[in-house]
């Protein structure tokens, strides 16, 4: 097993979604030091790897029945279950170790994302609300970084700005996941995955996406209005003009959103 295989297993490119919001949460809390940013990064990579690893392990049988995902490591048998669990253990240690190096409250609260990650793969077997739960998992990114810098939550200095950003992330990721889940409608029906698109069909899914876009834009405007407008224009253009390349550009537009906001925040 090499680094390339590990990166492929945990979909390292998906870190592009959460990492900028980790940095946004840190800078909303104050002026983080390089040391703090380093340990935040370690914890964030650990959290992201753990989330993906658990999802791959729990969903391996479902993945094997879906033509789009049948080639994944566990579904295809190219990686053993023991190896996958070992990687999850390493990522968990990164999360806990990074949290411990930041402050006691971070370490105390670190089981919250772990529980959230465990619930998500099972939730999709019972309710189409799983898309919003996934959004909530990523909404923990800016909140966790805030705690990493401040070491407290009791003074409510995070309200309302951080709350708006977290809600924005929840809605934004749910809308992205709704668009992505349209690739698996038939597979979800056959395997019993309760996705929103398989339950309510594409027209209703697109309606929810269209409602979600201005909602997350309003929430993100508190970070930087100009960056939000750029992100909004990018996502809207993809929604209207991407055609048969929708999934590819849908991913790229959303992977860019947080970075556009973070850069705009630093420049303002």
Q: What's the pLDDT at 13?
A: 75
Q: Is the distance from CB of 54 to CB of 46 less than 8 angstroms?
A: no
Q: What's the pLDDT at 259?
A: 96
Tell me what percent of the residues of the chain surpass a pLDDT of 90.
Answer: 84
Question: What are the pLDDT tens digits along the chain (268 aa)?
Answer: 667 777 778 777 777 889 999 999 999 999 999 999 999 999 999 999 999 999 999 999 999 999 988 999 899 998 999 999 999 999 999 999 999 999 999 999 999 999 999 999 999 999 999 999 999 999 999 999 999 999 998 888 899 999 999 999 999 999 999 999 999 999 999 999 999 999 999 999 999 999 999 999 999 999 999 999 999 999 999 988 888 888 889 999 999 999 999 999 999 8
Q: How far apart are CA 83 and CA 205, in angstroms?
A: 37
Q: What's the pLDDT at 207?
A: 96
pTM of the complete model beyond 0.85 = yes
Token pair belonging to 17: 């979604």
Q: What's the pLDDT at 1?
A: 61
| 12 alpha-carbon distance from chain centroid | 12
Nearest to 26 by CA among 47, 44, 49: 44
Q: Counting Cβ atoms within 10 Å, is residue 103 exposed (0-12), middle (13-18) or buried (19+)?
A: middle
Q: What's the pLDDT at 128?
A: 96
Q: How far apart are CA 33 and CA 258, in angstroms?
A: 21
Question: Distances from the Cα of 8 to the Cαs of 54, 55, 86, 189, in angstroms?
Answer: 14, 14, 16, 27
Q: How far apart are CA 5 and CA 198, in angstroms?
A: 31
Listed by start position, the domains of the chain span: 3-267
Domain 3-267: give its CATH architecture.
Orthogonal Bundle (1.10)
Give a three-class secondary structure readout of 186-254. HHHHHHCCCCHHHHHHHHHHHHHHHHHHHHHHHHHCCCCHHHHHHHHHHHHHHHHHCHHHHHHHHHHHH
Token pair belonging to 37: 């940013």
Q: What's the pLDDT at 2?
A: 66
Q: Is the distance from CB of 31 to CB of 48 less than 8 angstroms?
A: no
Token pair belonging to 231: 């992100």
Q: How far apart are CA 160 and CA 143, in angstroms?
A: 12
Q: Is the distance from CB of 2 to CB of 83 less than 8 angstroms?
A: no
* Those residues with Cβ within 8 angstroms of residue 170's Cβ, 6 or more apart along the chain or in another chain: 132, 135, 136, 138, 139
Q: What's the pLDDT at 16?
A: 80
Neighbours of 256 (CB within 10 A): 17
Radius of gyration of the chain (CA): 18
């Amino acid at each position: 097993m090499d680094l390339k295989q590990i990166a492929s297993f945990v979909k390292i490119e998906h870190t592009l979604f959460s990492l900028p919001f980790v940095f946004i949460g840190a800078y909303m809390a104050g002026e983080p030091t390089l040391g703090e940013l380093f340990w935040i990064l370690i914890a964030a990579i650990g959290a992201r790897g753990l989330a993906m690893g658990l999802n791959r392990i729990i969903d391996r049988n479902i993945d094997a029945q879906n033509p789009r995902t049948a080639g994944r490591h566990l579904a295809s048998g190219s990686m053993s279950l023991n190896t996958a669990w070992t990687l999850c253990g390493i990522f968990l240690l990164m999360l806990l170790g990074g949290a411990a190096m930041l402050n006691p409250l971070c370490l105390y609260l670190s089981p919250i994302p772990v529980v959230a990650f465990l619930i998500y793969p099972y939730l999709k077997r019972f309710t189409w609300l799983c898309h919003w739960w996934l959004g909530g998992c990523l909404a923990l990114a800016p909140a966790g970084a805030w705690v990493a810098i401040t070491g407290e939550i009791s003074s409510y200095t995070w309200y309302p700005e951080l709350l708006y950003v977290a809600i924005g992330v929840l809605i934004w990721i749910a809308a992205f996941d709704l668009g992505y889940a349209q690739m698996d409608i038939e597979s979800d029906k056959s395997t019993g995955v309760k996705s929103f698109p398989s339950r309510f069909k594409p027209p209703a899914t697109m309606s929810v996406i269209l409602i979600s876009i201005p909602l997350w834009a309003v929430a993100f405007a508190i970070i930087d209005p100009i960056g939000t407008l750029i992100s909004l224009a990018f996502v809207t253009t993809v929604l209207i003009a991407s055609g048969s390349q929708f999934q590819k550009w849908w991913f790229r537009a959303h992977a860019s959103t947080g970075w556009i906001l973070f850069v705009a925040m630093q420049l303002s």
